[in-house]
Structure 1
Amino acid sequence: MQPVVHLAVGYLCYAAYARWRRDDVPAETPALVAIVGAGLADLIDKPLHAADVVPVGRTIGHSLLFVVPLVAVVWLLARRRDRELLGVAFAIGYGSHIATDIPWHVLSGDYDELGFLLWPITHMPEYSGVKPLGTVPGLGIEATTLWLEAVILVASIGLWIADGYPGTAPIRRVVRRS
């Protein structure tokens, strides 16, 4: 999944949680934490891969051996500071990233590419890229995972706008101070 789509999915998942749990749109700071959490795996792994520290772009930050303890520590720290909702938002965002990296490989039968889930115990081959989903009937055009990701991205942006851009207020405050 494209990195920006992970951010969108993280927001969608947290927005669903906020509506289910509090019957309201996401609050500013938890929304931002969920979005940052959703992007963190790529922020860890992509630079490490670019610097040739790890063999592929899905290793440490995508491995459950790292993710589970990290999410637990963040949640415990947030809970200790009486900000448990931020821990939940982080878990939802980060968890959504890992969860949405799985389906494309399953649908395409590239099960070996799921090695990231337990890296470095399991081997992670080079990512094979965009996956085909099938051919559009009557047009002969091959639909790929990028098509579905584009729909998810547009829907997420639409919801985020309708919700009043949650997550931007903390950033606007920092920018105003500088």
Structure 2
Amino acid sequence: MYPLGHLALGYLAVVALARVRDWEFRYPHGLTLALLAVGTQLPDLIDKPLAYAGVLPNGRSLAHSLLILTPVVFLGGRYLTHKGYGTEARVLAVAIGSHIVGDSYLLVFRQEWRELGFLLWPVVPGLQYPGDNVAPWVRILNAGFDSPQLQFQYLLFAGAVAIWLVSVYRRRQRRAAT
């Protein structure tokens, strides 16, 4: 999944969970929105540059591994909650989790189990992806805008932006009424 797709999926996941779980907010804004944006990109911000530099075996290893992410997110969430940032911890955890879902869902649907090995890195050795030797920003430009996977991500992003715009409009209406 590409950055806009990750951002959209994370935003929609947080909005849905905020409604279902009755969080303190309906739509993320301010700090929670910033943490959501960072969290949805974090695994790629760590893995892609390190793979491009030759430090990691590929662009889906360290920060994409459930063996690494699960304890880090759990301990980080506990720490943030202890410091009074429970909402922020939940948003960050959902954002990071949505990134992993975004990178995995097609592989599950296609039953490409070997490709899912990155979830258990370093126990399962990482695959070499053809794009690992290409700078991340070049890969985005070379992806083409007519692939069905990218079109789905653009639709997801458009939906997330529409929901965000409605939330901004409603928040401004509430402020004007008071």
TM interval, short-chain normalised: 0.7 to 0.9
Deviation at 1:42, TM superposition (A): 0.4
Asked if 1:6 corresponds to 2:10, the answer is no
Q: CA deviation at 1:128?
A: 6.5
Q: How many residues align?
A: 153
User: Within the alignment, does 1:60 sit opposite 2:58 as a pair?
Assistant: no
1:74 to 73, 76, 79: 76
How far has the Cα of 1:25 moved from its partner? 2.3
| Native 8 Å contact 1:13 1:92 kept in 2 | yes
Structure 1 residues 100 and 55: alpha-carbon distance in aligned structure 2, compared to 1, 3 A threshold: same
* Residue number in structure 2 paired with 1:176: none
Match of 2:156 in 1: 152
- Residue deviations 1:8-29, cap 9 Å, x none? 2111111122233146222422
The percent of aligned pairs where both chains have the same amino acid is: 35
Match of 2:32 among 30, 33, 44: 30
In structure 2, the CA distance between the partners of 1:111 and 1:127, relative to structure 1 (3 Å rule), is farther
Gaps of 5+ in 2: 132-145, 170-178
Shift of 1:164: 1.7
Query: What is the RMSD computed on CA atoms of the aligned residues?
Result: 2.1
Counterpart among 71, 95, 98 of residue 96 in structure 1: 98
- Give 1:116's aligned residue: 118
Task: Letter of the 2:56 partner, please give it.
Answer: V
Deviation digits for residues 65-87 of structure 1, max 9, x if unmatched?
A: 11111111221111111111111
What amino acid maps onto 1:124 in structure 2? G
Alpha-carbon spacing, 1:113–1:128, altered in 2? closer, same or farther (3 Å) = farther
Q: Structure 1: how far apart are the matches of 2:130 and 2:109? A: 14
Of Structure 1 and Structure 2, the greater helix share is in: 2
**What residue ranges of structure 1 are gaps of 5+ in the alignment?**
130-141, 166-178
Residue 121 of structure 1 deviates from its aligned partner by: 0.6
Distance 1:109 1:143, change over 3 A: farther
